[in-house]
Structure 1
Amino acid sequence: MSSSWKRVAAQVGAQISAATGVPFAAETAAAVRGGCINEAYRIEGGGRRFFIKLNRVGSLAMFEAEAAGLREILDSCTLRVPAPVCWGESPCGSWLVLEYLEMACASGDAAALGRGLAAMHRTVAREFGWARDNTIGGTPQPNRPTSAWAVFWREQRLAHQLQLAWRNGHEASLQARGEQLLERLDAFFAGTEPVASLLHGDLWSGNHGYDVAGRPLLFDPAVYYGDRETDLAMTELFGGFPATFYAAYREAYPLDQGYAVRKILYNLYHVLNHLNLFGGGYLQQARRMMEQLLAETRG
């Protein structure tokens, strides 16, 4: 077992026992690869398995928000996500324990994923945002409920990331382009009225999979209510999903005119977030996207 897991094993075991009503003590812990924010393990004991994420002291709020987001998706009765079991913190670190879902290879029923996501997006709220803030990767993500989508996207998504980029020392020209874009943001929503759909919020290819029967699974959400196109846009950002996924989604819930441009606006948020998380390798991409968007508003 890893040293990180050993330091919290007894407390986590006691908490799982209390949460499930069945005594649990981990007999093995195997590291699970794939994340860059948390350590992750599959723990087993008494014929039961759980998935656990570990992070430093002070990360409990992040895990509480993730658990709430998973519960929000579970309550939509659409796509399957791991059910949260318990979460906590000690002087040795913070943790989130989830249902362990056995995953198969990367391929599965992509059309079912498209239909399921469309159904999830039909779960709507009265305002954009969410009842609590959360994180996107390791970055704080504000979700203050807002009645106007353009205002929400301007203030709590793009402006927020631009402020972080400024604090992180990224060039002033990026900020100048960003300010121009924020001033012209309303132009991208002319003729469309987004509804506040339940969003995964961080839907790149690494945050979905399939179980052993080929049924789709989602995990690692950054949940809020917003324009459904933001989820679709991110699926195209890092490699894309299968064509059958997009065909099934569009058949179940056709996209509005103008998506081809708005997806650049929506993915800019994630590129700026990667710039803030991982450094200057994303600076040129962010600049190009801003120039493309500004050119659209000059037309």
Structure 2
Amino acid sequence: MTNDNEQSIPRVRSGPISWLDDPLRVSITKAVSDYKGCKWRIVSEDDFSEFACHHCAIVSDGTSGVFFKYSQSNDAKKQFEIELSALQTLSKQAGVRIPHPVGIVEVKSGALLIMEAVETVKRGPNQWRQIGETLARIHRVKGDSCGFERNGFWGPLHQDNTPTQNLATFYRERRLLPMLKIATDSGNLPPSVVSKVELLISRLPELCGPEITPALLHGDAQQNNFISTAEGSFVIDPAIFYGNPEWDLALIDSWQPVPDAVFDGYREEIPIDSGFSERRDLWRVPLYLAAVAIEGSMHLNRLTGALQEYL
């Protein structure tokens, strides 16, 4: 999830990382050395954890670096296996760029997902346009139903991808109702807001728009899940399934605005339905419910603002 506190802007923290203990350093060093076929060691560290809901960082030997995620979840290895499989699906089926995987490493306290780091460039109009083009290439891949062949994770949360033929049914049963339960169980969601979500759910058939051919989705297409490089846009952190492309388009600027160049680049590849702007906040409700559940009531204003559009 993305920090919604305007007074606390996430940033990269360079220097020794407090949570990167010696056993983790040894595991990363060995995995990268084996991958490269030569001795490799950590000499610089950049902590990116403020951009994510888990510990993550880029470490380098001064010449080449790797990005890694660290999870202490009981099913950390499974989460990373699904994430890596999703990245490979996006690469093979949509032809988009992904970081080269180094591997998944089990450690005593959880697991690590390690990938080659890519060199970023500052985003200008061309880089924003490339994000839109990349997203459109993913959406060109079509499926027979909403969902996916296996369940996954959305951040730290389980994601039910059991297929359905109807978009409104999938959105209700696989996204809104599960996220509503998680947010309610967290104790962070007031009963009055629960009632508003339930009312929204009852209106879905009239709100979801026309039926469409399900498209392959990134699933968590927030702008920080695209990396701009000199080669083009790379994708990371997917939560793939087949569904309405508007889901991804709504998430791209769900926390922070993006330039029009993103949507211009997308439209050069695929048209955007004229009714999307009216449905944009509808697709953001599960994201805001998840944020309330994981991070707390600081996100209630965004959630209630989105709900109000349709009640």
TM tier relative to shorter chain: 0.7 to 0.9
Give the residue type in structure 2 aligned to 1:35.
F
TM-score computed with the length of structure 1 as normaliser:
0.87
| Separation (CA, whole Å) in 2 of partners of 1:41 and 1:285 | 29
Deviation at 1:164, TM superposition (A): 1.0
Q: 1:83 to 1:130 in 2, by over 3 A?
A: farther
Displacement of 1:284 after TM fit?
3.0
Moved more, 51-60 or 115-124: 51-60
Rate the CA distance shift 1:24–1:55 in 2: closer, same or farther, 3 A.
farther
Q: Aligned partners of 2:208 and 2:121: how far apart in 1? A: 40
- For 1:38, the equivalent position in structure 2 comes to 54
Within 1, Cα distance between the matches of 2:51 and 2:239? Answer: 14
Letter matched to residue 192 of structure 2: S
Q: Structure 1 214/240 Cα, relative in aligned 2: closer, same or farther at 3 Å?
A: farther
Q: Residue 39 of structure 1 aligns to which amino acid in structure 2?
A: H
Tell me how far 1:65 sits from its aligned partner. Answer: 1.7
Q: How big is each residue's C-alpha offset from its partner over 1:181-225, in whole Å with a ceiling of 9 and x where there is no partner?
A: 2122111235x12222121112222222311x2622222222222
**Paired position in structure 2 for 1:297:** none
Aligned equivalents of 2:232 and 2:275: distance in 1? Answer: 31
Q: Distance in 1 between matches of 2:290 and 2:118?
A: 29
Q: In the TM superposition, what is the alpha-carbon distance from 1:171 to its structure 2 partner?
A: 1.5
Q: Following the alignment from structure 1 to structure 2, what is the Cα–Cα distance between the partners of residues 140 and 67?
A: 16
Q: Which moved more, 1:161-170 or 1:193-202?
A: 193-202
Query: Structure 1 residues 24 and 134, CA, compared in 2 at 3 Å: closer, same or farther?
Result: farther
Gaps of 5+ in 2: 1-15
1:95 is aligned to 2:112: yes
Displacement of 1:153: 0.6
| Correspondence for 1:263 among 265, 280, 283 | 280
- Structure 1 position 250 matched with structure 2 position 267: yes
Change in Cα spacing, 1:284 to 1:73, as seen in structure 2 (3 Å) is same
Q: Percent identity?
A: 25
Partner of 1:4, secondary structure, is: coil
| CA distance in 2 between partners of 1:38 and 1:26 (Å) | 23
Q: Which residue of 1 aligns with 2:170?
A: 152
Q: Which amino acid aligns with 2:152?
A: N
1:173 corresponds in structure 2 to: 192
2:31–2:102 CA contact under 8 A, matched in 1: no
TM-score normalised according to structure 2 size: 0.84
Post-superposition shift, 1:17?
5.2
Aligned with 1:124: secondary structure? coil
Q: Find 1:106's aligned residue among 115, 118, 123.
A: 123
Task: Give unmatched runs, 5+ long, in structure 1.
Answer: 295-299
- Higher mean Cα deviation, 119-128 or 137-146? 137-146
Q: Residue by residue, what CA displacement relative to the aligned partner does 1:242-295 show, whole Å, maximum 9, x if unpaired?
A: 21221221232112242122211101111111111111122233223223212x
Match of 1:50 among 66, 75, 79: 66
RMSD of aligned alpha carbons: 2.3
State the 1:57 CA deviation: 4.8
* Corresponding residue number in structure 1 for 2:235: 218
**Aligned partners of 1:257, 1:61: CA distance in 2, in Å?**
39
Contact kept, 8 Å, 1:109 with 1:214, in 2: the verdict is no
Q: How does 1:109-258 map to 2 (within 5 A)?
A: 109-169=127-187, 170-190=189-209, 192-211=210-229, 213=230, 215-258=232-275
Query: For the Cα contact (< 8 Å) 2:29–2:42, is it kept in 1?
Result: no
* Counterpart contact for 2:44–2:61, Cα < 8 Å: no
Whole-Å separation in 2 of the counterparts to 1:47 and 1:134: 35
Aligned residues: 291
- Structure 2 vs 1, CA of residues 232 and 7 (structure 1 numbering), >3 Å: closer, same or farther? same
